[in-house]
Amino acid sequence: MDFEKDIILTIKKIKDGDKYLREEFINKYKPYIINTVSNITHKYIDTENSDEFSVGLSAFNEAIDCFDDQKNSYFFKFSTLVIKRRLTDFARRNKKHCNVYPFTYFEDKNNSYFEEISLKTEIDMSTNFEITKEINLFRDRLNEFGISLNDLVNSAPKHKDSKLLCIRIAKVIADDSKLFGKLVKSRNIPKTELLRAIKINKKTIERNRKFIIAASLIFGCEFYLLKDFIDISGIGGDDFEQRTK
């Protein structure tokens, strides 16, 4: 089961009344809440004495109750927006007690923040949190094939057409259980069988071996967020390289 589906299932169980699971879930993601509050307020968060952390904790709990997987694909994107909104409300209520807004950058000037923002395309701190977890798993899987992330970035096709072709090849491998099984078992691309399945120049496979293997693993191993990312631009771009540092 991929990460996001697991999160959605957990939230459904919590909503069904599992109080112990709710407490466990909130405790598990306290580091995420702390990081989110810290990034929004731009200051160190002392969990024992921080009003902002209390607001963030309450907002995270609220996000659990309000999350609807039919409307939003990613819980942590949604919860970050809830936390931002509640912290902004908190800042407004306490405006008269301070001379400086602690996080006015996130204020909603037209009262339409939730309605207008795109949950699908906004790449914020919560997305980074989730992608980082997948990248760590992905790195471990690549190591089994003798490929590092640096190798992947350096060996990625430079031209868009070549990159898209390699992605298509990877999808063929990932979608064929026999081809993907041989890839995983042999730690290499099953060229003979692949060439029977699609008409492609053998040199293309050899020249882009590392990239094709990496893309095949993303598609075949349910790396949910990286799968979305490779569909957009292919791994190996500057954005992917930046995320792996």
pLDDT digits 0-9 by tens, 160-169: 888 888 888 9
Confidence of residue 189 (pLDDT cuts 50, 70, 90): very high
Non-local (6+) Cβ contacts of 200 within 8 A are 165, 169, 194
> How far, in Å, CA of 133 to CA of 56, rounded?
22
State the Cα angle at 103 between 102 and 104, rounded to 5°: 110
> How far, in Å, CA of 245 to CA of 242, rounded?
6
Cβ pair 166, 212 in contact under 8 A:
yes
Cβ pair 82, 72 in contact under 8 A:
no
Mean pLDDT of 131-156: 82
Cβ pair 107, 57 in contact under 8 A:
no
pLDDT value for 2: 67
Of 236, 166, 173, give the one whose Cα is nearest residue 208: 166
Cβ pair 61, 88 in contact under 8 A:
no
Non-local (6+) Cβ contacts of 245 within 8 A are none
pLDDT at 125 over 50: no
CA 88 to each of CA 74, 189, 206, 208: distance values in angstroms, whole numbers, following the listed order: 22, 52, 53, 48
DSSP state of 38: H
pLDDT value for 159: 84
Of 238, 214, 245, 244, give the one whose Cα is nearest residue 227: 214
What DSSP string runs through 108-149? -TTS-HHHHS-TTT---HHHHHHHHHHHHHHHHHHHTTT--H
Confidence of residue 188 (pLDDT cuts 50, 70, 90): very high
> How far, in Å, CA of 132 to CA of 242, rounded?
11
Mean pLDDT of 175-202: 89
Cβ pair 126, 36 in contact under 8 A:
yes
pLDDT digits 0-9 by tens, 82-110: 898 888 888 877 764 444 434 433 344 44
- Using the structure block, give the residue that is written with the tokens 């949910």: 224
User: Does the global pTM surpass 0.75?
Assistant: no
Query: What would the two tokens of residue 69 be?
Result: 């997987």
